């Protein structure tokens, strides 16, 4: 019969493994985000990213975001899209506005796998503000604000990264609270 010490060690090991799995696969929008799945596969299961997923589909960007990458995606939640002027999301989702929608969405994507720590270090190395070039081609600024990171779009509007470093097989997602506009 195993001793109390052996049982305790086994229980501790099991707890660490479960905890490690929880950290490796964080919950976003009520769904686990698996590091072994790609950006689209994971986002499609998040209840707080249904508008983003619909927009990615309408813009024809699914194949791209399922590709090898790596990509860093700043993923606005549904509430961020709700802050846009009334009717704007529905207008953008129409086929005739596919190019405009694609420009907005690709403004949320940067080539490479940029963690929150690497974004913070880049900002600190450049006087407190890092400048990123988005896949869309325009600049996006990142600025540490206390423990959080703030994104500043080309119009000067700000978004906060609310959940950082959600690892994907083809990059990383950072959940944000606003839609960024080029």
What Cα–Cα distance (Å) separates residue 30 from each residue in 8, 25, 27, 46? Answer: 32, 12, 6, 6
Sign of CA dihedral 116, 39, 41, 158: positive
Helices 98-106 and 50-58 pack at an angle, to 10 degrees, of 120
State both tokens at 50.
Answer: 């249904």
pLDDT band at 132 (very low <50, low <70, confident <90, very high): very high
Do the domain assignments include residue 85? yes
Evaluate if residue 133 carries a pLDDT over 80: yes
Give a yes or no: residue 33 inside a domain.
yes
CB contact set of 144 (below 8 Å; sequence gap of 6+) = 120, 123, 124, 128, 150
What integer is the mean pLDDT of 66-78? 92
Q: Assess whether pLDDT exceeds 60 at residue 154.
A: yes
Q: Is residue 94 part of a domain?
A: yes
Count the residues in the chain: 182
* Domain assignment present for 8: no
Instruction: Please give the residue that has the higher pLDDT: either 3 or 97.
Output: 97
Asked if residue 14 belongs to a domain, the reply is no
Average pLDDT estimate for 110-116: 96
Q: What are phi and psi of 162, to 5 degrees?
A: -90, -30
Instruction: Let me know: does 73 contact 166? Beta carbons within 8 Å.
Output: no
Asked if residue 22 is part of any domain, the answer here is: no
Q: For residue 85, what pLDDT is reported?
A: 93
60: CATH: 2.30.180.10
**Total count of domains within the chain:** 1
Q: Which domain holds residue 164?
A: 27-176
Residue 59 located in a structural domain: yes
The C-alpha atoms of residue 53 and residue 46 are separated, in whole angstroms, by 9
Residue pointed to by tokens 């024809």: 60
Phi-psi region of 27 (alpha: psi -120 to 50; beta: other; left: phi over 0): beta
From 8-22, 61-75, 100-114, 123-137, the region with the lowest mean pLDDT: 8-22
Find the Cα–Cα–Cα–Cα dihedral 27, 74, 148, 124, rounded to 10°. 140
């Amino acid at each position: 019969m195993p001793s109390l010490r052996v049982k305790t060690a086994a229980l501790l090991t099991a707890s660490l493994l479960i905890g490690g799995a929880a950290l490796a696969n964080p919950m976003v929008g009520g769904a686990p985000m698996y590091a072994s799945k790609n950006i689209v596969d994971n986002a499609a299961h998040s209840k707080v990213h249904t508008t983003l997923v619909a927009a990615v589909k309408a813009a024809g960007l699914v194949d791209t975001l399922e590709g090898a990458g790596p990509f860093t995606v700043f993923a606005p939640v549904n509430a961020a899209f709700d802050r846009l002027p009334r009717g704007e999301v529905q207008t953008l989702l129409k086929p005739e506005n596919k190019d405009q929608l694609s420009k907005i969405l690709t403004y949320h994507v940067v080539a490479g796998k940029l963690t929150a720590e690497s974004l913070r270090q880049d900002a600190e190395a450049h006087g407190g503000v890092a400048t990123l070039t988005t896949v869309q081609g325009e600049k996006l600024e990142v600025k540490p604000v206390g423990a959080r990171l703030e994104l500043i779009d080309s119009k000067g509007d700000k978004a906060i990264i609310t959940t950082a470093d959600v690892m994907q097989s083809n990059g990383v997602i950072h959940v944000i609270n606003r839609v960024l506009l080029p």
